[in-house]
Amino acid sequence: MSLTFPLDNNGDVLRQLQARGDDLSLPRDIDFSVVFATEANAMTFAKLSAAPDTRVDVERAEVAPGFPWDVTVTRYMLPDHGAIGEFEDTLARRASPLGGRNDGWGCFGQPPVPAPN
């Protein structure tokens, strides 16, 4: 079954996954990256983002100029356009007062489950 997605960055990623044969009906860990200028703000954000349904890791990664601290918030969920956007919005609202910003998301593809013979 082919799904359609909005014409935005998240839709582009989901279309790429689908084109590679990813079974988007399968939940998986999705990693959301939020970057910060200071370790203190990254650590504060990490504490605010801790929840039973998430894993949070902080590292100095220097993946974005001026934002050397990367916080990866991992949530097990369906790769659903709306749910991903909502979670990104939640992270952005939490990060903004601390000078942080979203830096994308990613996940490992899930191959389709073969039909039984």
Give per-residue pLDDT as tens, 16-56: 999 988 889 999 999 999 999 999 999 999 999 999 999 99
**Which SS3 state, helix, strand or coil, does residue 96 take?**
helix
Angle CA 46–48–49, to nearest 5:
65
Residue 15 has pLDDT above 80, yes or no: yes
- Residue ranges per domain, the chain? 26-107
pLDDT tens profile 68-97: 999 999 999 999 999 999 999 999 999 999
Residues 6 or more apart whose Cβ sits within 8 Å of residue 91: 32, 34, 49, 73, 102
> How far apart, in whole angstroms, are the C-alpha atoms of residue 77 and residue 102?
18
Q: Determine contact, residues 62/68, Cβ cutoff 8 Å.
A: yes
Q: Which CATH class is domain 26-107?
A: alpha beta
Tokens read off for 109? 């593809």
Distance CA 21, CA 110 (A): 8
